[in-house]
């Protein structure tokens, strides 16, 4: 069935779709087949099951309430910086590790607050992991060097 998203609360993980039959159907984000960002007024297709929307996907590009094309979904620049610095942090360099970790957390927050208009959470997570791995390797290296210096070979 076709319908339109009336709203979605990310914190509570629930939303409402107005079906073509005039009925309203509740949904959770897990019911989306493809994650192309849930937006109000987005036209969707779904399977109605006992008052709930299941197997939801975008029917077409979202249209704003004024009938103009909605803004395209962009990748977060902070997520891109996080990924690049995360990769560079594996080669060493405390600066890259710190930038990857700080920007990664900022990017994830920015993406969550964007209501689906920004993507890049996977890049941010990957960069964060690499940044933390870089810091961990650096700390282990320092411990090994200190222990070797204190106790000799």
Indicate whether 66 pLDDT > 70: no
Report the candidate in 128, 131, 28, 116 with the shortest Cα–Cα distance to residue 73: 116
Report the candidate in 69, 127, 139 with the shortest Cα–Cα distance to residue 101: 127
> If you average pLDDT over every residue of the chain, what do you get?
84
| Residues in contact with 64: Cβ distance below 8 Å, sequence separation at least 6, in sequence order | 41, 70
Structure tokens at 79: 């997520």
For 138, what's the count of Cα atoms within 13 Å in the CB-facing half-sphere?
16
Q: Tell me the pLDDT tens digit for each residue of 77-129.
A: 999 999 999 999 888 788 999 999 999 999 999 988 887 788 999 999 999 99
Indicate whether 26 pLDDT > 80: yes
């Amino acid at each position: 069935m076709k319908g339109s998203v009336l709203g979605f609360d990310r914190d509570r993980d629930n939303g409402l779709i107005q079906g073509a039959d005039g009925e309203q159907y509740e949904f959770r984000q897990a019911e989306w087949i493809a994650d192309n960002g849930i937006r109000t007024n987005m036209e969707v297709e779904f399977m109605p099951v006992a008052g709930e929307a299941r197997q939801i996907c975008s029917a077409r590009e979202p249209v704003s309430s004024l009938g103009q094309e909605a803004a395209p979904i962009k990748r977060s620049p902070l997520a891109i910086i996080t990924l690049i610095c995360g990769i560079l942090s594996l080669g060493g360099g405390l600066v890259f590790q710190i930038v990857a970790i700080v920007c990664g957390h900022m990017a994830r927050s920015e993406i969550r607050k964007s209501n689906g208009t920004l993507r890049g959470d996977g890049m941010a997570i990957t960069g964060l992991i690499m940044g933390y791995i870089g810091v961990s390797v650096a700390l282990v290296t320092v411990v090994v060097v200190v222990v070797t210096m204190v106790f000799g070979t």
